[in-house]
A and B are shown apart, each in its own frame.
Chain A
Amino acid sequence: MRIAVFLFAILAQTRIASDFEIQQMEQQVARSKDFLSQLSGHLNLGDLRMMRNETAVARSEYAKALEIATNERLAARRASEMTRYATATSYAALAEAKLGNAEDTFALSEEAIRYTSDSAKSWNLYANAMTALGKPAKAASASRNAVAIASHENDKLDLAIYQYALASSLLELKQTPEAEKLLVDVITSLRSESFAPLRREVARTESFEIYSTARGEQSAYISLLNRSQLRLARLYEDRGDIARARQQYANVLADRSDDPTALAAMAHLSTSADERERYYAAAFDANPFSLPLIRDYQKYLSAGAGSSAGTAPAGGPVPTSGSQLRTGLQQMQRGELIAARQTVDQLLQKFPNNDTLQLLAREIEQRRGGGSDLRVLIAAFNNNTLTAEQRAELDRKTFTSDVIFDHGPPFETGRIDDVPFRFSEPTTFNGNFVSGVRLRLTYRVLGASQLNGADALLLEPVRLENPR
């Protein structure tokens, strides 16, 4: 059985697996009890969870993979099956690398290669482990060994896998020309007549799943073509060759229309607002939890762009998680922090272990609680942390601030710096005052309130004056 491990370190920032792939791997782990099924299942589940920023669950999967590999290597050693021992040791190294244990990874990788330095597959696993540790020079060296060995063997798919791994490491080392040539060679080879029978089989079985640890020729072919095209597209994009980058991303989407990396790239490479909106919507549907996508979208929103998302018409379909998240980001952009928190909380109920959602929740809370003394006061009201003595003192005190009313007279809502406030009822003051200009308000603080979905202060007005 072919089993191919792909580098995904860079792509991990954007490549998010679909629910379908997670479901497939969970079924594989439940049904197949052999070593490679169990191991690849847990490694893939870890990678899929990691790409969704579900770190705790991902680490749990990697720990299971490590346990399986460790048991296998010890059993193989007891049985004096040294090749089996070396293979299991390589996978143990890879699992350690994904858990971030550098010293163990290196020791295990070296141990495996003592026995199987003639194996391109072992060198490829070594390279993958070093990539996971962020050691591209070591990874490139190992990949060169894999390519050198495989070039004497008659397996074009394996050779392409190792060339892709080498190209990935070279890109990290900024050795772009060699990397580009390798990626072009890999894609050309995969699209050549040599792979026509495999392509027909892929089409016949309607296979589309992409895994970092691919089992079988079809899965390896699909995953490798996807990753190679994405890498080449990114290379073109970084170079500013947008047309060729878009072409490669389009090729990826032709094979798999919901690839989140390609969709996100097409969004920020779009030439029109409509196209950009469409790709953002699709990218968020494919992967709502990609931080690079979220940051990119926030930058887009801060430029004053972005249509509303996630509002389900009555009787219409339930909004997707992607559109819900876009709604939350739009609410954050507009300062509607309470509404944004509610949106994120709804998603957290569906995805409680998601680090991205927890990060956004923290960011919202920081914005709600930070920035000024008034926001601290709002947070204290919301969190009910004021003591009875503090409340009594607040009741007695009056404050004076520069304010701008939203409408009126009569006046009901406005802002003190960037903090919204409202009165309990519309109020008219003696004198000639208008909204939209700076005025001086003396007031008591009654509590916290909401204004257009954002935190606000509830004030009792005492006096209004023109500023001095």
Chain B
Amino acid sequence: MTLLILAAVIAATDRGVLVAKSGSVEMFDRTAVTRMWSGDGLQTPARIATSKDQAVIIDPLASQIRMIDLASGRGTTLPTGETPIDGLFLNGRFYLLERDARALERIGTDGTRASIALAADPAFVRQAGGRIYVYSRTPGVIQEITTTPFQIRRIVNVAPFASDLEVDAKNAYLVYPRGGKIGIVSLTTMQSGGTFDVGAVPIDATFASSGTALTARTLAVADPSAKRVWMVQGAESFAHAVARGFLRGLIGLGLYSGGASQCPTGVDRVIVQGSRSYAYDSSSGTLYRFSKSKSTIVSKNIAPEGFAVSPGAVYVWDDAVRRLQRFPIND
């Protein structure tokens, strides 16, 4: 058996915990005990995108989505372009990335749809500053898309074959497992800002902290080869760096923390929720909580989308007993 099988896909929403299984969807309250509603789902759900009031369950294998009203559970199933893999809400509309159709589709709450063509192999969709960014993996292209009008605004050629994309207000960060690097792209100029080395095989990244006067923005990078999560600092302006370096010099710190957290097995996904950090090993289905000094197991034998981290708890779908489990946070 493979632990990558998605017995259930979970998302923590403002209204409770959404559990999508083959053919059904259920909403639980935050205690994970009371089922608030249930309804029809999709055959092979793989991902959930949420807003405050809505959720979209994505089935890339069947090329379908189900849009659900979180309050009532009422939903509509829609066919999509080939292989929808991810989506996001922005200004009340849903944007769906259809990888094998090479398209980004906009779906309004009234069901109106519009689509724009993308470069080959669009693999990641993110948003920042009211704009959408799509990275097309095989050609190595980031396309910046405005929502009004719905069109491609700018394009930048970058290195191909990244395994993850993260964006903040200023920069996009691309993770390159083969080269062991993080690539930076300035969203202001839409130009490459260079690369820096991270570990052996970095595969996934997320923002771990926002920058302060003493620290640049920190990225947590999962490296299954090194069995570590690397904490690295992101891009900063030259002036900011000089000023911060100067300050840190005054108080006796090195420029970068260079921190890393060791896990017993090779972790390939990293999640940060507030001050808490989690790493996940797809090969063993193990979810760890980690800090700079140690890591502890939260749960084992879970699928990559079979858990959700919320401010108050970690929710895990236990397929053996077919119920939602809640692991409260003990800081």
Contact = CB atoms under 8 A, between A and B. Distances in A.
B50 interface: no
B120 A137 contact: no
Interface stretch (A114-122, A207-215, A409-417): A114-122
A104 B100 contact: no
Given A80-B200, A117-B163, A141 B4 contact: no
A118 B123 CA distance: 13
A59 interface: no
A117 B83 contact: no
A312 interface: no
A111 B6 CA distance: 13
Contacts of A321: none
A80 B266 contact: yes
Given A70-B2, A82-B224, A106-B60, A141 B283 contact: no
A74 B5 CA distance: 16
Contact of A82 (B4, B83, B161, B177): B177
A31 to B, nearest CB: 29
Given A77-B224, A107-B2, A118 B161 contact: yes
B5 A107 contact: yes
Interface string A145-165: 100110000000000000000
A77 B99 contact: no
Contacts of A82: 177, 201, 203, 224-225
Contacts of A135: 61
B161 A117 contact: yes
A118 B121 CA distance: 12
A103 B225 contact: no
Interface string B23-47: 0000000000000000000001010
Contacts of B138: 117, 145, 148-149
Contacts of A144: 120
Interface in A349-386: none
B178 A118 contact: yes
Interface string A224-261: 00000000000000000000000000000000000000
Contact of B4 (A74, A77, A107, A149): A107
B283 A77 contact: yes
Contact of B120 (A92, A108, A145): A145
B282 interface: yes
Chain B: interface residue count, which band?
35 or more
A383 B47 CA distance: 56
B137 interface: yes
A117 B178 CA distance: 10
B245 interface: no
Contact of A73 (B200, B226, B283): B283
B160 interface: yes
A85 B44 CA distance: 25
A138 interface: yes
Contact of B83 (A73, A114, A138, A148): A138
Q: Chain B's interface: helix, strand, loop or mixed, by majority?
A: loop
A289 to B, nearest CB: 32
Chain A: interface residue count, which band?
20 to 34
Contact of A115 (B46, B61, B203): B203
Which residue among A70, A102, A103, A149 has the maximum number of chain B CB atoms within 10 Å of its CB?
A103
A73 B281 CA distance: 13
A190 to B, nearest CB: 25
Nearest to B163: A114
A15 B60 CA distance: 31
A148 B119 CA distance: 12
Given A80-B226, A82-B224, A114-B163, A137 B82 contact: yes
Interface in B137-154: 137-139
Contacts of B163: 114-115, 117
Nearest to A118: B161
A189 to B, nearest CB: 22
Contacts of B106: none
Contacts of A104: 2, 4-5
A115 B283 contact: no
A117 B226 contact: no
Contacts of B226: 80
Interface in B180-206: 200-201, 203
Interface in B219-234: 224-227
Interface string B1-26: 01011100000000000000000000
A106 B2 CA distance: 12
Nearest to B175: A114
A130 to B, nearest CB: 9
B196 to A, nearest CB: 20
B58 to A, nearest CB: 12
A254 to B, nearest CB: 38
Contacts of A70: 2
Given A114-B163, A117-B163, A141 B224 contact: no
A141 B85 CA distance: 14
A80 B2 contact: no
B83 to A, nearest CB: 6
Contacts of B200: 80
Given A73-B283, A103-B44, A111-B282, A141 B61 contact: no
Given A74-B283, A103-B5, A106-B61, A80 B82 contact: no
Interface string B209-227: 0000000000000001111
Interface in A64-120: 70, 73-74, 77-78, 80-82, 85, 92, 96, 102-104, 106-108, 111, 114-115, 117-118
A315 B95 CA distance: 77
A115 B177 contact: yes
Given A115-B201, A148-B139, A80 B178 contact: no
B61 A102 contact: yes
B134 to A, nearest CB: 15
B80 to A, nearest CB: 12
A131 to B, nearest CB: 13
Nearest to A111: B4
Interface string B76-118: 0000001100000000000000011010000000000000000
Contacts of A115: 163, 177, 201, 203
22 contacts: A70-B2, A77-B283, A80-B226, A80-B266, A82-B177, A82-B203, A85-B283, A103-B44, A106-B44, A107-B4, A115-B163, A115-B177, A117-B163, A135-B61, A137-B82, A137-B83, A138-B83, A141-B121, A144-B120, A145-B138, A148-B139, A149-B138
Given A104-B2, A117-B137, 15 more contacts: A73-B283, A80-B201, A82-B201, A107-B2, A107-B46, A111-B4, A111-B282, A118-B178, A135-B61, A137-B100, A138-B83, A140-B100, A141-B100, A141-B121, A148-B120
List 10 A-B pairs, minimum CB-CB distance, nearest first. Answer: A141-B100, A107-B4, A118-B161, A80-B225, A77-B283, A137-B82, A82-B201, A117-B161, A145-B138, A106-B61
